[in-house]
Amino acid sequence: MPLLLVALLFFVLLALVGVVLLSIALRYRAGTARRRGRRWVATTNLWMMSLSAFFYLTFAALLSFWIGRAFPYALTGIGLGVLLGLLGLALTRWEANPEGFFYTPSRSLALFLTLAIAARLGYGWWRGFHAIGSTTDAHPFLSTSGMQLSVAVGGGLIGYYLTYAIGVRLRLARHERDRAVVGRYDCAKVRP
């Protein structure tokens, strides 16, 4: 009977690992897909990421009471994320054609961000299992768990996606403005 229980536990763990790996692969695929630029989607993304950044910084400030220097790590992560977002906007392929406005994010940057998420998730699992065996440690778990690094990685992701949302929204607005100007020019040229 215990062998059956161990085998069942092994298959559940294997299934969990498979689901996590599949979700990482799907996240990469979604992060590199060609997208149509729509004004309402870009505006919604911008508002939601702004709200996320606000709540993230608020909770990081509250977290600083239990985990020292969590807020500075959050700000550092957001700053690095903003730089990555600017790099991502520079590496994005922008296409304006008669069907609409399209953009394709950088594959290498999407892979980097996906691997950062996977590495942080793996580190969290490793640290969680490692902390179970070391109950005699004199330091509390939260202060030694690498939580500051986790806060920085989270801030980096929020900074990246906020900057990217701002850039897409601005680029889409510029495309619509240019298209309106060209449309007025073409109408004026056609009139006798």
Beta-bridge partner residues of 93: 104
| Residue at 108 is within a domain | yes
What is residue 142's predicted lDDT score, i.e. its pLDDT?
Answer: 52
Determine if residue 146 is left, alpha or beta; phi over 0 gives left, psi from -120 to 50 gives alpha, anything else beta. left
| Residue at 19 is within a domain | no
Count of domains for the chain: 1
What is residue 190's predicted lDDT score, i.e. its pLDDT?
Answer: 46
| Residue at 179 is within a domain | yes
Instruction: Give the position of tokens 């991502």.
Output: 88
Q: What angle do CA 118, 71, 121 make, to 5 degrees?
A: 10
Q: Which domain holds residue 58?
A: 32-190
How far is CA 81 from each of CA 5, 60, 92, 109, 175, rounded to the nearest angstrom? 45, 16, 16, 12, 25
Pairing of the two strands 35-36 and 100-104: antiparallel
pLDDT in tens, the chain (192 residues): 688 888 888 888 888 888 888 887 887 888 778 888 888 999 999 999 999 999 999 999 998 888 888 899 999 999 999 999 999 999 999 998 888 889 999 888 888 888 888 887 777 777 777 766 665 555 555 555 577 888 888 899 999 999 999 999 999 999 888 877 766 555 545 454
CB atoms within 10 A of CB 82: 19
What is residue 37's predicted lDDT score, i.e. its pLDDT?
Answer: 85
| Residue at 21 is within a domain | no
Determine if residue 46 is left, alpha or beta; phi over 0 gives left, psi from -120 to 50 gives alpha, anything else beta. alpha
| Residue at 11 is within a domain | no
What is residue 3's predicted lDDT score, i.e. its pLDDT?
Answer: 80
How far is CA 124 from each of CA 36, 81, 119, 133, 190, rounded to the nearest angstrom? 35, 21, 8, 15, 64
Q: Which two tokens stand for residue 145?
A: 């768990």
| Residue at 3 is within a domain | no
| Residue at 8 is within a domain | no
What lies within 8 Å, CB to CB, of 56 at 6+ separation is 74, 154, 155, 158
Which residue type sits at 27?
A: R
Cα separation of 166 and 175, whole Å? 14
| Residue at 13 is within a domain | no
What is residue 123's predicted lDDT score, i.e. its pLDDT?
Answer: 77
